[in-house]
Structure 1
Amino acid sequence: MSRTRDLQWSLTLPTVRMPPLASDLETGKLVRWLKQPGDMVSEGDIIAVVDSAAGPTDVFASHDGVLIQHLVQENTRIPVGTPLARIDTGEPEHNAAPGDVSVFVASARLSVAELSHNAASALARSQKEIPHYHLGTRITLRRAGRWLDDFNSRRTSGEALPMSALFLKAVAVAVEDFPRFNGFHTGKGFEPSEDVHVGVSIAISGGITVAPAIHHSNRKSLVEISADHRELVQQARSGNLEKYQLEDPTITVACLGERGVASVHGLIFPPQVAMVGFGTPHLAPIARADGSIVTELIVDASLAGDHRVSGPHRGSRFLNRIASLLQNPEELCASRPPAKRSASGQIRGV
């Protein structure tokens, strides 16, 4: 393999990044590598140690494979989100395009007090650092409601599929076509993520909201997404969430239908660059083109976007894609081919 081809190949591998740190710290020092290029690594192995004002943080790998390359030298101070190393997983899906985020920090359960502190710090940082823009749209759910009723009537076991599963899957599928809403803004600018890990907003005791990840949401079925969502709710409300579950999301979705709110206008969880909100599905009068008035099941959807990465025009197209998927729910069950990318790694036509 030529040197140029070798470089191009290495750029397609999963990238381990500098993890988020405690409180609102933005930089840390990589003090020691525990794994060297050529070493075999397994999911959960500690590969490096990062130090900051909050103390040392272990960096864990989330893939099995071979550590190919260190991208940062020891005793270097770097911003959160900086690429640290690359891992060859040996899997074709991980050799398709750059940007895969593969970072796990020290696995530990978080207390309610820690969750509250971390959430408050993240929101303060969001308001301070992220130039938000907000968009909203009203989506008709007539076909989605009928499809859901039919699907649940044919289920012979398990719990009924909720509408929120369709919301989560629609965002996961839509963001494949609009990658600038899926990733992280770091000290070096926007870093898209090849994986789609939708963070789902969950209210726990004390009025705290957390948003752990449903991993690879775009590849999962609606039933799997619903099951993962239920499990995350149980973990969050019983105090059994792990740190990595809160640090993995590439985009967050807030479904507050059970709270009875009409719409959601959220703040982005840094270093993410977008948040999608759904209010309570409800019946509302809708005027048709012929002047008649009908009653339809609708939901108000919103988008909080980061002006540094996208703008209202692109955001409106993203929301329209989500609406189209919800109005054609059969698409959420179809297998989708990998997105076509140009040599620069951008999805064509977006």
Structure 2
Amino acid sequence: MSTFKMPSLGADMEAGRLVEWLKKPGEQVERGDIIAVVETQKGAIEVECFQPGILGRLLVDPGTTVPVGTPMAVIDDGKDEEPAPAAPAQAREPAMADAAQAPIAPPPAPSRAVASPAARRMAAERGVDLAALTGTGPGGAIISTDVEQAARAAPAPAPERKPGRVDPAAMRQAIAAAMARSKREIPHYYLSATMDASRAVAWLDAFNADRPAADRLLMTLVLGKAVALALKKHPMLNGHYGAEGFAPADHVHLGMAIALRGGGLTAPALHNADARSLPDLMAGFRDLVARARAGTLRSSEMSDATVTVSSLGERGVDALMPIITPPQVAIVGFGAVLRRPWVADDGATLEVRPVVTTSLAADHRVSDGHRGALFLRDLDALLQDPEALT
């Protein structure tokens, strides 16, 4: 036997509220199956199971708010002995232990009825207007059975709905908590370098020239892939810092900062960015953006990122000095690609070239400025050979 526990879905998360079970006791579950919906201050998240087996007893009822690490269900994985329930505080760092003993207040009520991701998908498929429903889930949340009943009662297509949103005030509160913790606990150091982007821009223009808009690459992904490959040579910048110190990651899961409509920010993981082609990464990124703005991200995408990339180039920002997202140990920021005077390779000619200012914020407990400078040097070298990024 094993237990399915309340996962950590962000550095600021101490507890989550179970909205809905999507699997029933006795059902077979596989690794990656979505078995529950959990509500946090950043919205409703589809939670995956990482232990195959038969779903057994459900230990938490919908509507219950429980700390991270709390056993929520039993999974029969073929082993005889059922594990003892773990103390919730063990799943967090020591600094969070005292908070686990105090009552956990539920997340702030959203400005409108919450609908689980499964309910949103079902409503879209069956033409049900979520705004017209009264939810029977915890806190008035709309769940799958509400949509099923509405579809049977009024099968005619309903007006097109707007994408799901989270409460901007609650998300801002969550972001504030995470960033305050980061600046309080992580000794940041900052480095920046201006890099010649002319080869990368020329290569990207040629790649996109004969492709339809849906298949074109964005510079953000070119820069992100370069970060992922450079990190393979600098593992001390890629991983998580926890109670037992730093644990480097085997792969690079890029947390891609995405601005949400209506306000707020999230940075879900683009998995295995170091091993995927640029077109595949672009498709994955488009999917992440669409689901982030629709409120249908998965738990693994919210917790797996090993480093974050933030680009404000489209906002016209020359450079940024970002803040690390715990438990990660580094974040890379890119400003706009701008045309600036540049001394050519011969050292005697002044040209106007596209350049990008790249910044690194890293955790001084794990690496130092020398290591960070070597990373930026290798990142620059990759941008001078964009064919190697494909």
Letter in 2 for 1:195: H
Aligned equivalent of 1:227: 283
Instruction: Note the 1:115-194 alignment, pairs <5 A.
Output: 115-155=171-211, 158-194=214-250
Residue from 55, 60, 68 that aligns with 2:66: 55
Aligned equivalent of 2:31: 42
Tell me the secondary structure at the aligned position of residue 199 of structure 1. strand
Distance 1:73 1:173 in 2: 42
Letter in 2 for 1:129: E
Q: Is the 8 A contact 1:27 1:78 kept in 2?
A: no
Residue from 268, 287, 310 that aligns with 1:212: 268
Distance 1:223 1:296 in 2: 26
Deviation of residue 170 (structure 1)?
Answer: 0.6
Aligned pair in 2 of structure 1 residues 291, 189: CA closer, same or farther (>3 Å)? same
Aligned pair in 2 of structure 1 residues 23, 159: CA closer, same or farther (>3 Å)? closer
Aligned equivalent of 2:20: none
Distance 1:203 1:164 in 2: 14
With the length of structure 1 as denominator, give the TM-score of the two structures: 0.69
Distance 1:107 1:59 in 2: 22
Is 1:200 the counterpart of 2:188? The answer is no
Letter in 1 for 2:90: I
Deviations 1:146-202, CA, capped at 9 Å, x for gaps: 111211124367332111111111111111111111110001100111122100111
Letter in 1 for 2:359: S
Q: Is the 8 A contact 1:112 1:239 kept in 2?
A: no
Is 1:330 the counterpart of 2:387? The answer is yes
Tell me the secondary structure at the aligned position of residue 351 of structure 2. strand
Larger Rg over CA atoms: 2
Tell me the secondary structure at the aligned position of residue 215 of structure 2. coil
Residue from 162, 166, 172 that aligns with 1:111: 166
Q: Is the 8 A contact 1:200 1:211 kept in 2?
A: yes
Letter in 2 for 1:134: Y
Distance 2:329 2:5 in 1: 17
Distance 1:304 1:317 in 2: 14
Deviation of residue 79 (structure 1)?
Answer: 4.5
Aligned equivalent of 1:309: 366
Aligned equivalent of 1:98: none
Unaligned runs of 5+ in 1: 1-15, 29-38, 61-65, 83-105, 334-350
Aligned pair in 2 of structure 1 residues 188, 263: CA closer, same or farther (>3 Å)? same
Number of paired residues?
A: 276
Q: Is the 8 A contact 2:208 2:217 kept in 1?
A: yes
Aligned equivalent of 1:4: none
Deviations 1:236-258, CA, capped at 9 Å, x for gaps: 22333334322111100001111
Letter in 2 for 1:267: I
Distance 1:124 1:67 in 2: 43
Aligned equivalent of 1:99: none
Moved more, 265-274 or 152-161: 152-161
Distance 2:243 2:69 in 1: 21
Aligned pair in 2 of structure 1 residues 175, 49: CA closer, same or farther (>3 Å)? farther
Moved more, 157-166 or 292-301: 157-166
Residue from 318, 324, 328 that aligns with 1:262: 318
Percent of residue pairs identical: 37
Distance 1:67 1:56 in 2: 27
Is 1:78 the counterpart of 2:134? The answer is no
Q: Is the 8 A contact 1:197 1:250 kept in 2?
A: yes
Distance 1:133 1:325 in 2: 23
Tell me the secondary structure at the aligned position of residue 247 of structure 2. strand
Moved more, 162-171 or 151-160: 151-160
Is 1:274 the counterpart of 2:330? The answer is yes
Aligned pair in 2 of structure 1 residues 265, 284: CA closer, same or farther (>3 Å)? same
Letter in 2 for 1:20: S
Aligned pair in 2 of structure 1 residues 121, 293: CA closer, same or farther (>3 Å)? same
Distance 2:321 2:270 in 1: 21
RMSD: 3.5
Q: Is the 8 A contact 1:20 1:81 kept in 2?
A: no
Aligned pair in 2 of structure 1 residues 301, 67: CA closer, same or farther (>3 Å)? farther
Letter in 2 for 1:244: S
Q: Is the 8 A contact 1:134 1:302 kept in 2?
A: yes
Aligned pair in 2 of structure 1 residues 42, 160: CA closer, same or farther (>3 Å)? closer
Q: Is the 8 A contact 1:79 1:187 kept in 2?
A: no
Is 1:250 the counterpart of 2:306? The answer is yes
Moved more, 108-117 or 148-157: 108-117
Aligned pair in 2 of structure 1 residues 67, 326: CA closer, same or farther (>3 Å)? farther
Letter in 1 for 2:215: E
Deviation of residue 22 (structure 1)?
Answer: 7.0
